[in-house]
Amino acid sequence: SAHVNGNAATANGVALNGRDSPAESSERLQIVNDEKQFTQELTPQLERWGLRDVGFNYNIVAVFGSQSTGKSTLLNRLFGTTFDVMDETQRQQTTKGIWMCRGKGTSIMVMDVEGTDGRERGEDQDFERKSALFSLASSEVMIVNLWEHQVGLYQGANMGLLKTVFEVNLGLFGKKPQDGTSGRTLLLFVIRDHIGVTPLANLQTTLTADMNRIWDSLSKPAELQDKHLSDYFDLAFTTLPHKILAADKFEAEVRQLRTRFTDKDREDYLFKPVYHKRIPADGVAFYMENIWEQVQTNKDLDLPTQQELLAQFRCDEIASVAIAEFNEQSKSQRKPIEVGRVVEGLGGLMRNWKTQALTRYDRDASRYHQGVYKRKRADLVAVLDSTLSPLFLGQLKNLHKACLSAFKKELLEGLRGEDYSFADVMNKAREKCETRFTQGAQEALLEDTDWTSEEELVLLQEEVANVGDQCRKDETKKMVNLIERNFKRQISEPVDLALNKASADMWDKVLSTFRETLEKAESNYLTKARSFNCTEEENEAALATLRKRAWLALRAKVDEQTADTAILGKLRSHFEESFRYDEHGVPRVWKPDDDIDGAFKKAKEETLELVPRYSKIAPLEPSLEISLPSESPDPLTSTDEFDFPSTLVIFSETKSLDLIARFRRDADAYYVEAKRSTVSSIAQ
């Protein structure tokens, strides 16, 4: 049958793979070449085998034994692999190095070592030692392959190799790994070409005794003097019949042996968890390469250190993958923040990105050395937070701006119309503004950071207070203007009346009107100012302004009523009143006997008396006298000079004389007219 020889077996393996699984699963990889260089292809190859992301869910088996003892043949039969087998007809050496295949239909990484038989040629024992060391550092099960007739040949080549295995094991696992793995390895002795005369039990006894003898003969470091072989190795034994002479039996037993590698439920399942080296699959390439490097340079192979190095490398790699994705996400909100937008739900987004990055990291990195994993995680968190921090700060700035302008808008809206309490509007707007900011800031603030929005809040509060102050000042001004307008309206008629009448107590009337109206205006101001929360000084200043403006308004009114035409009109009508009308208010018709001169003189003198009355604001009643503080001109506050006493003077002396002269001319005209009227009445 085709199963009989090794080449056919290889061909069969490939054919099987080609039929029911992707071609790559039958690929093999030379992980160490004949130049003793480690491949860069292992990780991609593991990926193609579909093993890269299986975590710890994989197994590694290696083989050990003299040249041409059928190791590759056995592996190919057991695992459906495609390792080179020596061609019987040409007895040609296969390519030197360490090879790896994926066990067909399994998650088993199978390693085969090819080398010249150093012992026969007296060369390159070095490579065997190194490959054994390398295999032990990573394999769970090491198959020790030997012929039945080699058993008990203590001096044989195999025994020398085993001694090597134990020696390197001491170097490897002498120190206890700190990560909780046991460092135990199973040595599975496969006794080939078993004829069946000597039962397995006897072979097993002989081999065990040999093992212990070899163990005892090792020179061990002092601290490991008391260690037994069984502290490091479990031994298992099995036989296989002659592959050619008992081909069917051989095939059947190989199939049985195979299930011991694949069937977890079997009691004699070989890949016990305790043998696992706890290297996550995605770190196997890095780990193996480093181990090989150490082995190559004959450095002490300190596995715990190797595992930590591996963890550092892989955790960094995993973190940078997480960071790259995270950066891509966080970049999306950088622009909006930069142009001043408040990003709705930014905190939620950031939390999400951060959680995703950490989840990704945890999933892959938590399988590695815990100390390293945790340390690198803290580094990762710091990187994530420092990437997000500018977004947070930008969001605060934008939030600050948005809240402030909303505050202004609300304030203006609230102050529209007449009927409002400034303090209420102000407090409501301020509260809303602060609440909005605080809530927005809280949403964007990530837990477990030293971020704070305190400073920004203080800045905002300051600006809100400034805006509020300015607004209050404007409002106060507006109010003072309004009161001033009302004041003007209120004094207009009483002042007109009083000035027209020109009675002796004319100024008493004017001033008492002024006082009453001003008092009303002041109390009006104070009532409103209460809701503005104005300060004492602000009130003082506003009232002083109000008084001064009220006074100037009064003076303007007086000026209007005492302008040249107006005052001359007033004088004229006084004169007319007394000269042209009798005491009953009936117009006089002058007769020749009438005392025109006397009447004229009386009316003129009475009228002229009014000029000094108009010329100065002077009440009869001293308590009605008014006094306001004078002000010198100030270019800073743009106040004009205000000299109160001079505002009491309506006309100067010269002006009075001028008015009197002009009035006389008017009066004289009346006199002439009166005289003429009598002449004409005589003439009739």
Minimum CB separation from ligand GDP for residue 246, in Å?
9
Minimum CB separation from ligand GDP for residue 273, in Å?
29
C-alpha torsion sign, points 4, 6, 11, 16? positive
**Of 67 and 138, CB closest to ligand GDP:** 67
Rounded distance between C-alpha atoms, residue 36 and residue 157, angstroms: 23
Minimum CB separation from ligand GDP for residue 270, in Å?
20
Number of residues near Mg ion (by CB under 5 A): 2
**Of 26 and 294, CB closest to ligand GDP:** 26
List the one residue out of 155, 87, 106 whose CA is nearest residue 258: 106
Between CA 628 and CA 637, with CA 633 as vertex, the angle to 5 degrees is: 95
**Of 63 and 207, CB closest to Mg ion:** 63
| Stretch in the footprint of Mg ion (CB under 5 A) among 16-24, 27-35, 67-75, 137-145 | 67-75
Residue 472, C-beta contacts closer than 8 angstroms, at least 6 positions apart: 422, 426, 532, 533, 534
Which positions from 197 to 236 touch Mg ion by CB under 5 A, shown as an x/- string? ----------------------------------------
Cβ neighbours, 10 Å, residue 245: 10
**Tokens describing residue 543:** 């009232």
Rounded distance between C-alpha atoms, residue 32 and residue 519, angstroms: 107
Minimum CB separation from Mg ion for residue 102, in Å?
17
**Of 10 and 59, CB closest to ligand GDP:** 10
**Of 6 and 440, CB closest to ligand GDP:** 6
DSSP symbol at 616: B
Minimum CB separation from ligand GDP for residue 140, in Å?
21
Residue 213, C-beta contacts closer than 8 angstroms, at least 6 positions apart: 154
Rounded distance between C-alpha atoms, residue 319 and residue 375, angstroms: 12
**Of 39 and 69, CB closest to ligand GDP:** 69
Contact 234/186 with Cβ under 8 angstroms?
A: yes
**Of 254 and 270, CB closest to ligand GDP:** 254
Minimum CB separation from ligand GDP for residue 57, in Å?
28
**Of 88 and 293, CB closest to ligand GDP:** 88
**Of 244 and 324, CB closest to ligand GDP:** 244
DSSP symbol at 445: P
Interaction partner, residue 294 (Mg ion, ligand GDP, none; CB < 5-8 Å by kind):
none
Interaction partner, residue 36 (ligand GDP, Mg ion, none; CB < 5-8 Å by kind):
none
Sheet holding 233-239, edge to edge: 28-32, 97-102, 108-114, 59-65, 141-147, 185-192, 233-239
Interaction partner, residue 70 (ligand GDP, Mg ion, none; CB < 5-8 Å by kind):
ligand GDP
Interaction partner, residue 96 (Mg ion, ligand GDP, none; CB < 5-8 Å by kind):
none
Residue nearest Mg ion by beta-carbon distance: 72
Q: Say whether residue 72 binds Mg ion (CB under 5 A).
A: yes
**Of 68 and 208, CB closest to ligand GDP:** 68
**Of 61 and 571, CB closest to ligand GDP:** 61
Interaction partner, residue 440 (ligand GDP, Mg ion, none; CB < 5-8 Å by kind):
none
* Helix locations, 562-621, DSSP H: 564-580, 596-615
* Helix locations, 332-453, DSSP H: 334-338, 346-365, 370-414, 422-444
Total number of residues shown for the chain: 684
Minimum CB separation from ligand GDP for residue 87, in Å?
7
φ/ψ bin of 199: left (φ > 0), alpha (ψ from -120 to 50), beta (otherwise): beta
Q: Which amino acid is at 188?
A: L
Q: Say whether residue 67 binds Mg ion (CB under 5 A).
A: no
Minimum CB separation from ligand GDP for residue 12, in Å?
14
DSSP symbol at 196: S
Element containing residue 254 per DSSP (H, E): helix 247-262
Rounded distance between C-alpha atoms, residue 10 and residue 242, angstroms: 18
C-alpha torsion sign, points 449, 450, 455, 461? positive
Residue 71 has, within 13 A of its CA and on its CB side, a CA count of: 25
Minimum CB separation from ligand GDP for residue 107, in Å?
23
Interaction partner, residue 270 (ligand GDP, Mg ion, none; CB < 5-8 Å by kind):
none
| Stretch in the footprint of Mg ion (CB under 5 A) among 30-38, 72-80, 175-183, 381-389 | 72-80
**Of 145 and 294, CB closest to ligand GDP:** 145
**Of 71 and 509, CB closest to Mg ion:** 71
Minimum CB separation from Mg ion for residue 94, in Å?
5
Minimum CB separation from ligand GDP for residue 91, in Å?
8
Interaction partner, residue 647 (ligand GDP, Mg ion, none; CB < 5-8 Å by kind):
none
Q: How far is CA 635 from the centre of its chain?
A: 51
Interaction partner, residue 513 (Mg ion, ligand GDP, none; CB < 5-8 Å by kind):
none
Interaction partner, residue 177 (Mg ion, ligand GDP, none; CB < 5-8 Å by kind):
none
Between CA 396 and CA 403, with CA 400 as vertex, the angle to 5 degrees is: 130
Interaction partner, residue 67 (Mg ion, ligand GDP, none; CB < 5-8 Å by kind):
ligand GDP
Residue nearest ligand GDP by beta-carbon distance: 70
| Binding-site ranges for ligand GDP (CB under 6 A) | 6, 67-73, 85-86, 88, 192-193, 242-243
C-alpha torsion sign, points 613, 617, 622, 624? positive
Minimum CB separation from Mg ion for residue 114, in Å?
5
Reduced to 3 states (helix: H, G, I; strand: E, B; else coil), residue 146 is strand
Minimum CB separation from Mg ion for residue 61, in Å?
14
**Tokens describing residue 143:** 């198959």
| Stretch in the footprint of Mg ion (CB under 5 A) among 69-77, 141-149, 176-184, 651-659 | 69-77
State the residue for tokens 């007809």.
89
Give 624-666 as a DSSP string: G------B--BTTTTBPPB-HHHHTBSS-HHHHHHHHHHHHHH
**Residues making contact with Mg ion (CB under 5 A):** 71-72
